[in-house]
């Protein structure tokens, strides 16, 4: 059976970094909704055009469009053994849609590691990243708003996966290598 993991954590918790490391170790791809949106918009796919029609009006792209992009991505050959989800699902409705999709693919979620980092540490990490990458839009106020939205949207999702016995909390305050070791242990234990 394919191995599907959902990496959860606040913006700046290190999900992307850890997903890339896991991708190398486990031989399954990182599936990031941000990357999927950029790819579909850049290639002007039907899904990209549909997403753009909402984005151009300043509206959120509906779950159905996001799930369709994920389904398309999972249909590719490199996902036959599983995938590491990064940035998806964001809501319980998306989690339910993902379960239905994985059921169609004869797969299921193995574990949901939650990389937990103190909010003040996240703010400092993101401010440093903004400075290094020249991201003018990442100021402290914007970061704290994103953190608030994350808490609001993700708390129900954490409870959802905890109730199913899939959630494993990982201390994200550690060095990158220690977080990776804990992630690999959590995956092996499930």
pLDDT, tens digit, 9 for 90 and up, residues 81-117:
999 999 899 889 999 999 999 999 889 999 999 999 9
User: Exactly one of 90, 108, 110, 190 is catalytic; which is it?
Assistant: 90
CATH number of the structural domain spanning residue 16: 3.40.50.300
Residue with tokens 């839009």, as numbered in its chain: 137
How much is the pLDDT for 73?
96
Evaluate whether residue 144 is within a structural domain.
yes
How much is the pLDDT for 148?
87
How much is the pLDDT for 143?
85
How much is the pLDDT for 3?
86
Catalytic status, residue 129? yes
Evaluate whether residue 12 is within a structural domain.
yes
C-alpha to C-alpha distances, 43 to 4, 49, 53, 141, 181, nearest whole angstrom: 26, 9, 15, 33, 37
How much is the pLDDT for 67?
94
How much is the pLDDT for 109?
96
Evaluate whether residue 47 is within a structural domain.
yes
Evaluate whether residue 148 is within a structural domain.
yes
User: Exactly one of 71, 129, 144, 190 is catalytic; which is it?
Assistant: 129
Instruction: Walk across the sheet containing 30-32 and list its strands.
Output: 30-32, 82-86, 3-7, 108-116, 167-171
How much is the pLDDT for 144?
86
Q: How many domains does one find in the chain? A: 1
- In this structure, what token pair is assigned to residue 164? 């199913």
Q: Please report, for the chain, how many H helices and E strands are present, in that order.
A: 8, 5
Catalytic status, residue 190? no
In sequence order, the β-bridge partners of residue 84 are 5, 30
How much is the pLDDT for 181?
97
Could you say which residues of the chain have pLDDT below 70? 136-137
Provide CB contacts within 8 A for 11, sequence distance 6+. Answer: 122, 126, 143, 146, 147, 150
Residue with tokens 């290598």, as numbered in its chain: 177
Rounded-to-integer distance, Cα 105 and Cα 114, Å: 24
Catalytic status, residue 90? yes
Evaluate whether residue 190 is within a structural domain.
no
User: Exactly one of 25, 76, 135, 164 is catalytic; which is it?
Assistant: 135
Domain that holds residue 102: 3-185
Catalytic status, residue 144? no
Evaluate whether residue 133 is within a structural domain.
yes
Evaluate whether residue 49 is within a structural domain.
yes
How much is the pLDDT for 87?
85
Rounded-to-integer distance, Cα 108 and Cα 181, Å: 23
């Amino acid at each position: 059976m394919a191995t599907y993991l959902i990496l959860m954590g606040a913006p700046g918790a290190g999900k992307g970094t850890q997903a890339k490391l896991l991708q190398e170790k486990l031989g399954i791809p990182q599936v990031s909704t941000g990357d999927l949106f950029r790819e579909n918009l850049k290639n002007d796919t039907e899904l990209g055009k549909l997403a753009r029609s909402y984005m151009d009006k300043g509206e959120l792209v509906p779950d159905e469009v996001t799930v369709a992009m994920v389904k398309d991505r999972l249909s590719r050959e490199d996902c036959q053994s599983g995938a590491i989800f990064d940035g998806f699902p964001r809501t319980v409705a998306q989690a339910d849609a993902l379960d239905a999709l994985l059921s169609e693919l004869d797969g299921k979620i193995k574990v949901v590691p939650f990389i937990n980092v103190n909010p003040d540490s996240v703010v400092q990490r993101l401010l440093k990243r903004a400075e290094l990458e020249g991201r003018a839009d990442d100021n402290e106020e914007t970061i704290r708003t994103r953190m608030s939205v994350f808490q609001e949207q993700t708390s129900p999702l954490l409870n959802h996966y905890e109730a199913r016995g899939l959630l494993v909390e990982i201390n994200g305050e550690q060095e990158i290598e220690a977080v990776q070791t804990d992630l690999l242990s959590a995956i092996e234990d499930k």
